[in-house]
Amino acid sequence: MPELPEVEHVVRALRRVIVRRRIMAAEILLPKLVPPEGKAAFNRKIKGCRIIGVRRRGKFILIDLDRAKGLSHGRAARTRTGSGSVLMVHLRMTGRFRYLTIDEELPRHARAVFYLDNDRRLVFCDQRQFGVMKLVSYARLGGTKGIRELAPEPFSDDFSSKYLRDVLARSQRSLKTLLLDQTKVLGLGNIYASEALFRASVNPFKVSATLSVKRVGRLHQAIREVLSDALTDGSALRVNLEHPEGFSYGEAFENFWHVYDREGEPCVKCGAKIRRLTHGGRSTYWCPKCQKR
């Protein structure tokens, strides 16, 4: 499910329901979801924590926790930078959150359950079991493996056209491969990478370092556009933590992808047949006419 825009929608949905809730207990149903020290340590550390915020870095969901046993605001504020911790969650391919009432049954692929202080349960579900969770101290978050290496946020000033130019200039990989590398360009996944390249009218298989300055500029703009359209424009995905799936598709969804999953269909710009090629086990879609080498 998730590329950056989808993760952002999950973050917003979570924020609406879990901020200020206390975690009374956690139950890890899939041991490998948490690091080697194991679920006992995880449970011990997270039990009693208050959720004070939900944010995102790349495709990681960051749930800020306060260890204070819920006293004054002053106490809470101090612990935030002191003993505060952050629950890092990566949804990978099929990770989802559900927000359940006490009498709702656990979904089939429930992997972790957080019992909240309002008789609700926040449940992490994950069919393919690729998702991961980690509890780190607030102070050490930035240095944590996985976070440390990430490229700048795509909407930050650091992700400039010049930044992209420099990154591309140093790489002999194909553009499509490079756009999927979260340490180089942050936020795109297999769908939006194809979509961004299509919007920029650039060939996915071109060697990154050989892209002209003009095209780099187009690609830079296309990356931001495709992400911001997915964020605003009714979004591809309606995250609803109370929906059986955890989400549903919005109205605009049908027409959102121009090339992805449209092999053989006519290009929306020129009518040529969209092509698909798999490499490294991943499909790339492109228009052979609009995106010539």
Active site residues: 2-3, 59, 282
Q: Which of 43, 144, 171, 201 binds DNA (CB under 7 A)?
A: 171
Task: Indicate the residue among 32 and 292 with the shorter CB distance to DNA.
Answer: 32
Which of 89, 141, 200, 237 touches DNA by CB under 7 A?
237
Contacts of 260 (CB under 8 A, 6+ apart): 190, 191, 194, 195, 285
* Angle CA 236–157–198, to nearest 5: 40
* CA pair distance 31, 39, nearest whole angstrom: 6
Sign, CA torsion 169/172/176/180:
negative
Contacts with DNA, 249-288, as mask; x by CB under 7 A: -----------------------------xxxxxx-----
Phi, psi of 106 (to 5 degrees): -65, 135
Smallest distance from the beta carbon of 146 to DNA, in angstroms? 4
3-state secondary structure of 212: coil
Residue 162 binds DNA, judged by CB under 7 A: no
Helices (H) and strands (E) in the chain, counts: 7, 12
Q: Is the Cβ–Cβ distance between 100 and 123 less than 8 Å? A: yes
Closer residue to DNA (CB): 104 or 181:
181
Per the CB < 8 A criterion, the answer to whether 161 and 184 are in contact is: no
Q: Which span sits near DNA by CB under 7 A: 47-55, 153-161, 168-176, 198-206? A: 168-176
CB of 119 to DNA, least distance (A): 29
15 binds DNA (CB under 7 A): no
Residues that contact DNA, how many (by CB under 7 A): 36
| Interaction between residue 144 and DNA (CB under 7 A) | no
Can you name the residues that pair with 121 across neighbouring β-strands? 100, 115
Task: Locate the DSSP E strands across 21-155.
Answer: 23-28, 50-57, 60-66, 85-90, 95-100, 110-116, 121-126, 132-137
> Which residue, 119 or 158, has its beta carbon nearer to DNA?
158
Three-state DSSP state, 256: coil
User: Closest separation between CB of residue 226 and DNA, Å?
Assistant: 12
16, 44, 128, 273: residue in contact with DNA (rule CB under 7 A): 128
**Site membership for DNA, residue 13 (CB under 7 A):** no
The span of 46-54, 68-76, 88-96, 266-274 binding DNA (CB under 7 A) equals 88-96
Cα separation, 224 vs 153, in Å, equals: 10
Select 2 or 204, whichever has its Cβ closest to DNA.
2
**Contact with DNA (CB under 7 A): which of 55, 173, 224, 238?**
173
**Which three-class secondary structure state does DSSP give residue 164?**
helix
Binding site for DNA (CB under 7 A): 1-3, 6, 32, 58-59, 90, 92-93, 108-109, 127-130, 146, 170-174, 177, 180, 182, 189-191, 236-237, 278-283
